Structure 1
Amino acid sequence: MTRLAKAGRWLLPLLVTTSLVACTGDTGQRAGVTTAPASTPPVVAAPVAGFADLVEKVSPSVVTVRTSEGLGSGVVLRDDVVVTNEHVVGNARDVTLVFASGAQSPGQVLATDRISDVAVVRSDRKNLPVPAFRQDLPRQGEAAVAIGSPLGFENSVTAGVISGLHRDIPGSAAQSRSLVDLIQTDASISPGNSGGALLDAQGRVVGLNEAYIPPTTGAVDLGFAIPAATVLDVANQLLANGTAVHPYLGVSVGRLTPEIQRQLGVDADAGALVLGVDQGGPADQAGIRAGDVIVALGSTKVASVEDLLGALRETKPGQKVTVSVVRGEQRTQLEPTIGQQGG
């Protein structure tokens, strides 16, 4: 199982040791390489701003969220509302918002949603600058800039690319349903980045930074963000109703291991094993049983629990879908009507 860390509610004293290494090299001619004569004036590259203009523009829209237990980050959603992760605020109802200018403001947690890991906070300070949110997914390989407060270093910036889309972290479903269908980036994500902004090259918010795989596992720059479209959908529901509605199938699922496969005599090498079915729920009414292995939901193949949760997130309450299950040696198609959770 992959070890995964959520990047929020962190605050510890930090001792930093910095090492500087200078690199030097000789001039003249090496095998296969000829340098310009000394009389040739050196070519001076034009100054490169990098993402400086983008950061200057968007930083006022990214805040630090402090609680009594630690800190995380947040992004301005409306001129007096900040969106962040549920795991950043936890059970707190009063927080402190720290802005890029250093100014502080009390904040009141209006509503949270544990399923999506989204929370909304009202700021006592008004007229906050609202950034542009990009609801379509970025393309793999696009530039990515993360702004947040890693390890308490407020409004820090890291940059990289969009490494992947629709990422589901293996084994993450046991921790949280929020850890599926994520944007992957190699822009460094650390504790304290949670709830901060992941931006594209135009400074639009493409995601809310959520989690990372720690370097102790051998990972290098594996960070993840909740897509902006999901964040906006849930946050707007929370502001309107105090709760958010999510698609509901009514099953508890687990990994299909080779041992379980042999014990059940299931003719499937991969899928989501149904461990239990909620009585009277959509799956129960459609005839899904404990011991079934779900191998597809709609047109999406299901090879893991994370695949199933990702596919379920794309459905809507009231929608009838086709669920392919393997029961022993038989493959069966059932048609549950998706219910709703929350609301």
Structure 2
Amino acid sequence: MTSPTPPPPYLPPPPPPPFGPAGHARRRSRRGLVAAGVAGGVLLVGTGAATTAVALQVLDRDGAASAGTSLVPSTTAQDGAGGRPDTGTLPRLTPYGRGQDAGSETASDASAEQSTGIVQITSTLTNGTGAGTGLVLDADGTIVTNHHVVDGATRIEVTVVSTGQAYRATYVGGDAVTDVAVLQLEGASGLTPVDLSDDAAQVGDQITAVGDAGGDGGSLTAAPGTVSALGQDITVQETDGSSTKLTDLIRMDAYVVPGDSGGAVLDDQGDVVGMNVAASSGSREVTGYAIPIATVESVVDRIEAGDESGDIELGYSGYLGVGLDPSASSALVAQVIDDTAAEEAGLAVGDTITAVDGDTVGTADALRSAIAAHDPGDRVTITWTTSGGSTRSATVTLGEGPVS
């Protein structure tokens, strides 16, 4: 099956974030805990607002590839000129209810109740903007969304749908493997959070996927559906050749489209049982995927506790401000970003960075690791060889790196 043309890749940028207040009292329904069952195999779709366009592969539990359903990100992005990708080129991922033979394309504007505690997220990227959805966790503005929604963001703006109030947000931390990120709204108070369910989703449950479909910042969209499987594992192949595996997802027959990433999956009582993360394309029937809310909460709790073990990363890392030539075996500078430490140092295209604080960096990966080990504001000494062969050195203050 032919894969759709993906939207523009997502990128990198950031600023250091304050932790959200500890001990958040999250609203939860008062129903008993029900363990979710585990089912085998599934489809996948990478999602991302600031995300790299991806081609996806469906794997079963044993890692064997199954039918070639193509997948696309469930967030949207704009290019530098402000243009959005033509979603008409993505199979079945057209605006809700438009066109003929809509088939399973069933959705409508979300009600005020369904919109409570939902936010729209705009990420400013180095090459444009991205859009996605998020959930309010407490009155003071702790937000959870997909990591790919803010990956590469230099600036994050969040609008609370129920009030229309817009806030600047900082990145507290995230887990790119689980695809969960926590944001903190600046100056927020008195917000109404979502209700988190104590019951795990079960196969056959009626659900509604809510999000900013199309990423247009208008009314949220509510797509009704049914939980079709649990414990689903999907592998996302990214444009740079790397792959990411998302595990233990909820699969649902619901019309999830770009822009819905980070949105709510509501049960029949209006409580959140999952967070949208991916959707399939390439066939008439759209299949959505969501992260179980228990998994989301677990990651949020670790981030708020400052637990940086495993795949959790907190805040922003230092930022030098160079683009490196991927075809070079050394740290060869291919771009110098304006108003960054690299420009301050006097680095130029064609230079090769050889050391950080006197420690040799022989490759691009070594340089990235050396810079990532520092915080924004740290002073470091960069040594490089110019394109003319001379050696130079400068001590600079690192900026705030992109969300990564």
Fold shared per TM-score above 0.5: yes
1:128-187: CA deviation from partner (whole Å, max 9, x where unpaired): 11122124321111111111111124411111111211112367796323x221001112
Partner of 2:138 in structure 1? Answer: 78
Q: Structure 2 vs 1, CA of residues 60 and 232 (structure 1 numbering), >3 Å: closer, same or farther?
A: same
Q: Give the alignment partner of residue 199 of structure 1, picking from 266, 278, 291.
A: 266
Q: Which amino acid aligns with 2:185?
A: S
The two structures have a TM-score, normalised by structure 2, of: 0.48
Q: Structure 2 vs 1, CA of residues 236 and 104 (structure 1 numbering), >3 Å: closer, same or farther?
A: same
SS across alignment from 2:112: helix
Q: Give the alignment partner of residue 88 of structure 1, picking from 149, 154, 159.
A: 149
1:225-279: CA deviation from partner (whole Å, max 9, x where unpaired): 00000000001111120635469xxxxxxxxxxxxxxxxxxxxxxxxxxxxxxxx
Q: Structure 2 vs 1, CA of residues 195 and 139 (structure 1 numbering), >3 Å: closer, same or farther?
A: same
Q: Give the C-alpha shift of residue 19 in structure 1.
A: 5.2
**Contact 1:58/1:131, CA 8 A, preserved across alignment:** no
SS across alignment from 2:137: strand
**Contact 2:207/2:225, CA 8 A, preserved across alignment:** yes
Q: Which amino acid aligns with 1:103?
A: Q
Partner of 2:167 in structure 1? Answer: 105
| Residue 73 of structure 2 is aligned to residue 6 of structure 1 | yes
Distance 2:272 2:251 in 1: 14
SS across alignment from 1:243: coil
The two structures have a TM-score, normalised by structure 1, of: 0.56
Q: Structure 2 vs 1, CA of residues 152 and 120 (structure 1 numbering), >3 Å: closer, same or farther?
A: same
Q: Give the alignment partner of residue 244 of structure 2, picking from 161, 164, 176.
A: 176
| Residue 287 of structure 2 is aligned to residue 222 of structure 1 | yes
**Contact 1:67/1:92, CA 8 A, preserved across alignment:** yes
Distance 2:222 2:75 in 1: 16
Q: Structure 2 vs 1, CA of residues 88 and 219 (structure 1 numbering), >3 Å: closer, same or farther?
A: same
Distance 1:106 1:246 in 2: 26
Q: Give the alignment partner of residue 208 of structure 1, picking from 272, 275, 281.
A: 275
Q: Structure 2 vs 1, CA of residues 10 and 238 (structure 1 numbering), >3 Å: closer, same or farther?
A: same
Partner of 2:385 in structure 1? Answer: none
Amino-acid identity (%)? 29
Partner of 2:184 in structure 1? Answer: 122
SS across alignment from 2:192: coil
**Contact 1:113/1:243, CA 8 A, preserved across alignment:** no
Matched positions, count:
215
> RMSD across aligned C-alpha pairs, in angstroms?
3.0
Larger Rg: 1
Structure 1: gaps of 5 or more residues:
22-49, 248-343
Distance 1:118 1:210 in 2: 9
**Contact 1:162/1:184, CA 8 A, preserved across alignment:** yes
Q: Give the alignment partner of residue 146 of structure 1, picking from 191, 209, 216.
A: 209
Distance 1:146 1:9 in 2: 17
Q: Give the alignment partner of residue 57 of structure 1, picking from 100, 109, 113.
A: 113
SS across alignment from 1:78: coil
Q: Give the C-alpha shift of residue 8 in structure 1.
A: 1.9
Q: Which amino acid aligns with 2:243?
A: Q
Structure 2: gaps of 5 or more residues:
1-56, 59-69, 79-83, 89-94, 102-106, 313-404
Partner of 1:134 in structure 2? Answer: 197
